[in-house]
Amino acid sequence: MTLVRAKIDMQIPRKRKGFTSQHEKGIQRFLDAVSAAFLRHVNLNITTEQRGKFMLTHSSSGFKHALKEVLEDPAVAARLADTKVGFLLVLFC
């Protein structure tokens, strides 16, 4: 199951000639909201201890539906086969 802990939906002003300061402020507010949500929902002590379990994979998009594409990759499937969540591959794929 994939959980969405935070959804950040903000309006960022367009970049207009001569008025880029509003756009930059909007980008900065968005990045501040992303970092605050990340720090609120991710325990960094646990993640640094479990760093060896992380995998770097390629996905065509950053949305949840791309998870199926990642799980269909044979290299990822082979690495996940000997874990507790290996049986979930059958359910997803």
Average pLDDT over residues 58-69: 84
Q: Are 25 and 60 in contact (CB under 8 A)?
A: no
* Residue 82 in this model has a pLDDT that exceeds 80: no
Is 88's pLDDT higher than 70? no
Amino acid at 14: R
Question: What's residue 29's pLDDT?
Answer: 95
Q: Which pLDDT score, from 0 to 100, does residue 50 have?
A: 87
Q: What is the pTM (predicted TM-score) of this model? A: 0.56
Residues in Cβ contact with 71 at an 8 Å cutoff, skipping those fewer than 6 apart: 77, 80, 89, 92, 93
Q: Give the per-residue pLDDT at 93.
A: 56
**Could you tell me which residue, 15 or 92, shows the higher pLDDT?**
15
Phi first, then psi, for residue 77 (nearest 5°) are: -65, -40
